[in-house]
Each structure stands twice: as structure tokens, then as C-alpha cells.
């Protein structure tokens, strides 16, 4: 199948950018008429529940007076240096990232991913036809909002089991690629946990550099894995990191979703344009929070402990779920992507699990949008976030099995 921008494809894709609603708001409406059948176990929101690192409070206390001044938009030098050093240690990059020109602090990765679409629409060379932004389907809602904000056509690329839960690059034609300004890709993927191989990344980078678009690599789950450590798109970008920007966050890596600190790193030319936009439009990151991030990027012990806790929970999933619901231990991330098509579909299964089992999950179709043919790649699946402690997670998984058997 070749994906091109036919009128029908545009209509199917426009749902991603035409007034998107939060999947969690939709979930709240779906289950509002019902009460949980047992004590509630929330497994719908991907909010890490492991303990925050012990150094957070002391670092904040040491730098509390820095709340009394405006932060600079690009980030303080110690933060950019720490982010650069961490990237260089963690990934086999072509060279070290320049902290002065190739790193920008973010107020969490979400706002960065959104605003990057606006920057890409301004920074890339003129396109042939209406500018387009490509994204996997299912996708993180910020991608669709970014395409809408940039006034670009969102083109949804089905990420299904048949293609390893990653967009099929063979399905892209030259006409579409020649008007693409940005390609969002999450690896590990949310919700399926798929990890792009080095060969896949290299091929996508070649397309980006040939056609002149940006790869916006969402890598906020890169530190949550139970087997091999995922790589970075920056590894495939060459020594200039041309046409690639990677987005990182402390939310998952360090159990700090409320800190709202992340960074973007890569193509210096794009980051210059991105900084110009962010300097007038983006939320600044308080200096004390950046100092916590400096400590976080210099410490791997808490990250290793975090992975250990997730590994224990995936061991429980292996034991409790077995081969049910098409379960396969994901390569990365902390979510399960379970096939409940034999149980009435994702909405019906979500309601049944809530009403009878007291477990709240999210329908897969709420994380995706209809394709041109009307199909929804998320339909028939539920996403289960493994963010609770091991005991609660095990209870939730047992209830899931009991409810449907």
C-alpha cells in the first residue's frame, strides 16, 4: 500500500488536527454512567508512580532563591552541559552534542513537540503543495495539535501489528514526501512499545535529508526497557545531526512528571529557528527545576532502580497474561497494548472491565484516528499503563483476566 494525499486520505487525516479531544476526557464520558465494581485500580494514565529521587528536595532547597529571577529561554549552561554529556554517554553518537548550539531546555517534552511543528513549518525549504506533517497512528495527541497549529495537513500512517507497530516507510510516495515538513516518530512507541531498529532510523533519516523535512524523534520512553537499550535517532543522523531533533524528558526516566523539564537536541540550524520561536512563545523553565535536572542527568542509580521495578511488573504480566489478548512483552515503555476485539471491542471491554473489575484502562481507538478507509488502527485494543506498584499491578492484571474469562 502506498500512502498518498488523496482527498479521502486528507479527510481521514484531518481528524488528527481538526479539533482533537483529549482521550482522557472521552474516557471520563464513557465510564461516567457507571461505578467501579471493585476498589478502583487506575491503569489508564501513563503517570509514573514510583518514588521520586531522593536528591530532588535538597537540590530545590539549595537553589530556592533562583525562583526570584526569569530563566533564559535556551536553558542555563549547567543544564545544557548535563544534557549533552548524558546524551554522549548514553548513545553511540557520531560526535558529542554541542551544548551551546545543539541543546534547548523544554518545559516538558509535550510543549516542545507541539511547538516544533510550528518551527518546522517555518524553517524547512518551500514545499511542493500544501505542507504536510506525518505521524504514526495511534499517536501522542501533541503531534496532531502541532500539525493543526502549524496549519499543515496531518497524514496518519497506520502503526499496526502487521508492520511492527511502526509506520511503513515503503508506503510513502515521493509526492507526499516532497511536501512534508516534519515526521513525528516515537521510539519506544506509545502505546505499543515498539522500538525502531538502527536500519529503520537510518532509512527515515535518508528520506528526511533527501526531501528536506525534519524528523521529530520523541524518545521520552528511551530509558524504560527490559531487554536491549533503545537507540536514538541522533545516531543515524551523521556528524551534523542534519534534519533530526530528539526530544527527551525526565517524566518517565526519573519519575518526575510534575517537574516539567526536558530538552531537544540535534540539528543546530533548526534549533536556532526553534529557539527564536520559543524565546517569544514558550513557557520558561525555572532555574531550580533545571538544577534538579542537572542532578538527575548525572545520576543513573535511580534510573536503574526504576527499570528494575518495571521489569518486575513485566515479569508479572508474562506470568498472569501469558499469551492472552495477543500479549507480547514490549521492547520499551511501560504500557501493554492488548487485543480485546474478541470481547466486544475496545469501548465495550473498557466499560466491562471498569464495571465488573474496577480497573480503569483506555480504549485504543481513543489514541488513534480513522484512516482514509474508515478503519481505526487502535480499535479493538486497550492500553494498560503499568505505573502502579507491583502488588497493585498484579491485582489489576488478575482482574483483567478474570473479567474476560
Q: Selecting from 3.40.50.1100, 3.90.1150.10, 3.30.70.1290, 3.40.50.720, what CATH number does the domain 10-51+302-404 have?
A: 3.90.1150.10
CA proximity to 396, closest of 37, 30, 32, 29: 37
Average pLDDT for 133-148: 96
Residue-wise pLDDT tens digits, 195-224: 999 999 999 999 999 999 999 999 999 999
Task: Provide the mean pLDDT of the chain.
Answer: 94
Give the C-alpha separation, 3 to 160, whole Å: 15
* Span(s) in the chain for CATH 3.40.640.10: 58-299
Average pLDDT for 349-376: 97
CA proximity to 161, closest of 17, 349, 333, 337: 337
State phi, psi for 360 to the nearest 5 degrees.
-100, 120
pLDDT for the residue 21: 82
3-state secondary structure 259-296: CCCEEEEECHHHHHHHHHHHHHHCCCCCHHHHHHHHHH
329 φ/ψ sector (left φ>0, alpha ψ -120 to 50, else beta): beta
* Span(s) in the chain for CATH 3.90.1150.10: 10-51+302-404
Is the pLDDT at 1 greater than 80? The verdict is: no
Fold of 58-299: 3.40.640
DSSP, collapsed to helix, strand or coil, labels residue 147 as: helix
pLDDT for the residue 20: 67
- Per-residue pLDDT band at 12 (split at 50, 70, 90): very low
Give the C-alpha separation, 146 to 118, whole Å: 7
Give the C-alpha separation, 70 to 129, whole Å: 41
Amino acid at each position: 500500500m502506498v500512502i498518498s494525499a488523496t482527498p479521502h486520505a486528507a479527510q481521514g487525516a484531518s481528524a488528527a488536527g481538526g479539533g482533537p479531544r483529549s482521550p482522557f476526557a472521552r474516557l471520563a464520558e464513557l465510564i461516567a454512567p457507571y461505578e467501579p465494581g471493585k476498589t478502583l485500580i487506575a491503569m489508564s494514565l501513563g503517570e509514573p508512580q514510583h518514588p521520586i529521587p531522593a536528591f530532588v528536595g535538597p537540590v530545590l532547597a539549595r537553589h530556592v532563591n533562583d525562583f526570584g529571577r526569569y530563566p533564559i529561554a535556551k536553558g542555563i549552561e549547567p543544564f545544557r552541559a548535563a544534557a549533552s554529556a548524558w546524551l554522549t554517554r548514553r548513545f553511540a553518537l557520531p560526535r558529542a552534542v554541542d551544548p551551546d548550539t545543539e541543546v534547548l531546555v523544554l518545559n516538558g517534552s509535550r510543549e516542545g513537540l507541539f511547538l516544533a511543528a510550528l518551527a518546522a513549518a517555518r524553517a524547512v525549504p518551500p514545499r511542493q503543495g500544501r505542507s504536510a506533517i506525518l505521524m504514526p497512528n495511534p499517536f501522542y495527541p501533541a503531534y496532531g495539535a502541532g500539525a493543526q497549529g502549524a496549519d499543515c495537513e496531518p497524514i496518519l500512517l497506520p502503526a499496526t501489528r502487521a508492520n511492527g507497530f511502526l509506520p511503513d516507510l515503503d508506503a510513502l510516495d515521493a509526492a507526499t514526501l516532497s511536501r512534508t515538513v516534519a515526521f513525528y516518530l516515537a521510539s519506544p512507541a506509545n502505546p505499543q512499545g515498539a522500538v525502531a531498529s538502527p536500519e529503520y532510523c537510518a532509512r527515515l533519516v535518508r528520506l528526511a535529508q533527501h526531501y528536506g523535512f525534519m524528523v521529530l524523534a520523541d524518545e521520552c520512553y528511551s530509558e524504560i526497557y527490559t531487554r536491549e537499550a533503545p537507540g536514538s535517532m541522533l545516531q543515524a543522523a551523521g556528524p551534523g545531526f542534519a534534519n533530526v531533533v530528539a526530544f527527551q524528558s525526565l517524566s518517565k526516566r526519573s519519575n518526575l512528571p510534575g517537574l516539567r523539564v526536558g530538552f531537544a537536541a540535534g540539528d543546530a540550524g533548526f534549533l536556532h529557528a526553534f529557539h527564536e520561536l520559543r524565546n517569544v512563545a514558550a513557557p520558561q523553565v525555572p532555574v531550580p527545576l533545571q538544577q534538579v535536572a542537572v542532578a538527575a542527568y548525572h545520576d543513573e542509580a535511580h534510573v536503574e532502580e526504576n527499570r528494575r521495578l518495571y521489569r518486575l511488573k513485566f515479569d508479572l504480566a508474562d506470568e498472569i497474561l501469558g499469551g492472552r489478548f495477543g500479549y507480547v512483552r514490549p521492547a520499551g515503555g511501560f504500557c501493554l497494548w492488548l487485543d480485546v476485539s474478541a470481547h466486544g471491542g475496545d469501548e465495550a471491554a473498557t466499560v466491562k472491565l471498569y464495571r465488573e473489575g474496577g480497573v480503569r484502562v483506555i480504549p485504543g481507538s481513543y489514541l488513534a484516528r480513522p484512516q482514509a478507509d474508515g478503519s481505526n488502527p487502535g480499535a479493538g485494543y486497550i492500553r494498560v499503563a503499568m505505573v502502579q506498584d507491583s502488588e497493585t499491578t498484579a491485582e489489576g492484571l488478575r482482574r483483567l483476566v478474570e473479567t474476560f474469562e
